[in-house]
Amino acid sequence: MNKKGFTLIEMVVVLSVVAILAAILTPTIMKNINDSKIARANNEVQVIAAAMASFFKDTGRWPTSNGTSGNPDYLYILHGPSTANDMNPGSYSRYWGRGSGWSGRKDCFENHLMRNQPGLDCTAGGTTYNTSGELRWNGPYLTDLKPDPWGVLYSSNVISLWYTGGNYEYYAVFVISAGPDKIAQTSFAQDYRNSNPASGGDDIGVRIK
């Protein structure tokens, strides 16, 4: 009984064809994957911004409390989710990220938009937003919040939604993803009276003010 298999030459030819096809297709596949990540981040920053707008419509204020009665407006940054990685070092990352900068006056989106537990860095404070009356917390405004497609937190510079010192009242407010390089390159102090504010580098963002 004769058994016929592939010859060594035939196997080499087949493997060569597969390698050539892989070399041709890999850049296209990788580009499609990267494009899909950018599209997802674009969608998610808009969802977060819309949730913040809904919060404002219901409560008559922005999600900037740290949960203490003496500081109805206190936060500089909202970040999230709490399980995401921080941003890589960069010119602006320490302001947008969870690490040092701005005296740690930061909290996660979840505490304000998913549950009524404002605090500091995802630790609940002592005073919640109003839950009765015409202007009240009527959430949740988000049902889920994942890290951005590169595993990094989203952020919003909410300081400019309430603080009027140092021209902050004229600074644009964004919700951003730091993008593929995981480094925030968007200036947190863009005066919209003198310029056209925009996210920088490969950051992916939506402006809410």
pLDDT digits 0-9 by tens, 149-166? 999 999 999 999 999 998
pLDDT value at residue 2? 56
The gap from C-alpha 9 to its chain's centroid, in whole angstroms, comes to 53
Average pLDDT, the chain: 90
pLDDT value at residue 139? 93
State which of 33-37, 101-105, 204-208 shows the largest mean pLDDT: 204-208
Does the pLDDT value for residue 148 go beyond 70?
A: yes
Distance (Å, whole) CA 105 – CA 10: 66
Does the pLDDT value for residue 85 go beyond 80?
A: yes
Measured over the CA atoms of residue 161, residue 166, residue 170 and residue 175, the dihedral's sign is negative
What would the two tokens of residue 141 be?
A: 């405004």
pLDDT value at residue 11? 72
Residue at token pair 């200036």: 187
Identify whether the C-beta of residue 186 lies closer than 8 Å to the C-beta of residue 90. Answer: no
Global pTM value = 0.84
Does the pLDDT value for residue 5 go beyond 70?
A: no
Q: Would you state the torsion angle of the CA atoms of residues 120, 121, 125, 127, taken in this order, to the nearest 10 degrees?
A: 70
What would the two tokens of residue 117 be?
A: 């537990």
Residue 1 binned pLDDT confidence (cut-offs 50, 70, 90)? low
pLDDT value at residue 106? 95
Q: Which residue has the higher pLDDT, 13 or 75?
A: 75
Q: Which amino acid belongs to residue 129?
A: Y
Measured over the CA atoms of residue 78, residue 79, residue 80 and residue 83, the dihedral's sign is negative
Q: What is the mean pLDDT of residues 118-138?
A: 93
pLDDT value at residue 103? 85
Residue 56 binned pLDDT confidence (cut-offs 50, 70, 90)? very high
Helix (H) or strand (E) holding 155: strand 154-156
Alpha helices (H) in 60-131, listed in sequence order: 93-96, 109
Strands 154-156 and 106-108, sheet pairing: unpaired
